[in-house]
Amino acid sequence: MRIGIDVGGTNTDAVILDGDQVVGGCKSPTTEDVSSGIASALTTVMAQTGVPASAIQAVMIGTTHFTNAVVERRRLLQVAAIRIGLPATKGVLPMTDWPSDLADTLGRHSFMLRGGHEFDGREIAPLDEKGLVEVAREVRARGLRSASVTSVFSPVTAVMELRAAEILRNEVPGISLSLSHEIGRVGFLERENAAIMNACLADLSRKVVDSFRSALRQKGITAPFFISQNDGTLMTPEHVERYPVLTFASGPTNSMRGAARLAGIGDAMVVDIGGTTSDVGMLMQGFPRESAVAVDIGGVRTNFRMPDVLAIGLGGGSIVRDDGARIGPDSVGYEITSKALVFGGDTLTTTDIVVAAGLEDIGDRSRVAQVPASTIEAAIKEMHRKVDEAVDRMKTSADALPVILVGGGSILISRDLPSASRVIRPENAGVANAIGAAIAQVGGEVDRIYAMEGRSRDQVLGEAKAEASAAAIAAGAHPGSVQIMDIEEVPLAYLPGSATRIRVKAVGDLRMMQKEAAE
């Protein structure tokens, strides 16, 4: 059996799965320390199902904690942004297109050095090792504890980033390093942005992963645990400590994959209503449709492959104003249990509305008895209108599709939606994220530009496939279960015959779960 946990901004959910069967699930408020929220969710779900800690074979955790930290500019480290590539790249300085408050928070410590590679692996210039030693001294003098290193074409060859890491570790003992080739794909500024954001999370990631560890230990769970990343596959905790940025988009991915599993259909619209926002996306054959454009996180441009999701300001904690005519976009968030009327607070939230309407029984119903019927009706209409409009915008054709409602806030939608062929409210819809995390597989990916001169296409493709499969196995996939999921081959425009960008993704089942299944 396995446990899936989703640590959101408002709630921490836990589910226990036996194979494909949901044995039980529960929600619990997210706590400031993360750990006690997880522990309390685990206590509830284990008590509810009677599953002992010893029966748990693996724990999968999804979290939006790191995304929220960047968006809220909280608990971020100052970062030495080290770039290797001069004389190239000088035209656009690090953090050029960033929101200035975030760049200020990170201290604007930029360093640029000679080095980097061409698309075919030749050097632009040799790595300036002497310059790097000077940069390291400056980093020490400024008291910086975390650095990002981004070298031109490091997805083709990472040698300069690795050598730079060696030098920096020697010169600045204990420094946390974010190497861009471990994080992103081709696309220099976006990869550098991701590496810098990753570096500013170095302290927080250790603390959060530690709190995961201690929560599990506290509940006597000794099974290995994993954390889900952007594409819905799993990472080891050690990897997340070093590369928290890879979890940035895991929330919507988990929720959509969980929704697909719960509803048993692969093609649908998914509306995930949380405490603060609702994410609307489209499922195609069980996987989220990916965004084709650069994705902004906290105002910073990245090139993560993320589900194409529209977020609107509607959740279970959204504040209701103007006699129900205006909802959100602000929310009481995780403070719902003290601020909402039904919990004894003084703020009218969407949750209060559904309780007042008699649709749900949450908290103390008598505390919303005085909310006027006209306000209740207006607010319910406005909530449905907002969701319907978002679904319509995200659909890719005029045809009506089924809409799957998930997330803790899915109680807000009780009526039909004009844009949907039908509205599906699967059982356990409140914990779809946690289910998505629990069913995650292990993946490996290759995405780089291959020089084609002197090699055949088959040779290059074979090499890329083997490398992606090896990466999946190294990440913990059972070798027999690894499959190539996706191949994308784009010859470089305007350079006939010389180079092709190839992306291969391989996915397999987690090794230990395979073994258990066979026994």
**Residues forming the site for another protein (CB under 8 A):** 85-93, 96-97, 116, 118-120, 122, 124-125, 152-153, 186-189, 282, 284, 289-290, 292-293, 393, 396-398, 449, 489-499, 501
Between the alpha carbon of residue 486 and those of residues 103, 275, 493, the distances in Å are 36, 34, 21
- Tell me which DSSP letter residue 77 carries: P
**Which residue number, 114 or 219, has a Cβ lying nearer to another protein?**
114
Closest CB 424 distance from another protein, rounded Å: 21
**Are 191 and 235 in contact, with CB atoms under 8 Å apart?**
no
**In residues, how long is the chain?**
519
* Structure tokens, 217: 């230990």
Closest CB 195 distance from another protein, rounded Å: 14
**Which residue number, 159 or 186, has a Cβ lying nearer to another protein?**
186
**Which residue number, 402 or 491, has a Cβ lying nearer to another protein?**
491
| Alpha helices per DSSP H over 233-320 | 237-242, 250-263
**Which residue number, 56 or 312, has a Cβ lying nearer to another protein?**
312
**Which residue number, 30 or 303, has a Cβ lying nearer to another protein?**
303
**Which residue number, 449 or 510, has a Cβ lying nearer to another protein?**
449
* Structure tokens, 100: 């200035």
Closest CB 196 distance from another protein, rounded Å: 15
**Which residue number, 490 or 517, has a Cβ lying nearer to another protein?**
490
Closest CB 124 distance from another protein, rounded Å: 6
φ, ψ of residue 278 to 5 degrees: the values are: -115, 135
Measure the CA–CA gap between 110 and 510, rounded to whole angstroms.
40
Rg of the chain over all Cα atoms, to the nearest angstrom: 24
Bridge partners, 234 (sequence order): 228
Number of Cβ atoms within 10 Å of the Cβ of 495 = 11
**Which residue number, 129 or 290, has a Cβ lying nearer to another protein?**
290
Number of Cβ atoms within 10 Å of the Cβ of 458 = 8
Number of Cβ atoms within 10 Å of the Cβ of 391 = 25
Closest CB 285 distance from another protein, rounded Å: 11
Closest CB 491 distance from another protein, rounded Å: 4
Measure the CA–CA gap between 459 and 461, rounded to whole angstroms.
6
Closest CB 198 distance from another protein, rounded Å: 19
Q: Where are the beta strands (DSSP E) in 435-482?
A: 442-451
Measure the CA–CA gap between 199 and 149, rounded to whole angstroms.
9
Closest CB 395 distance from another protein, rounded Å: 8
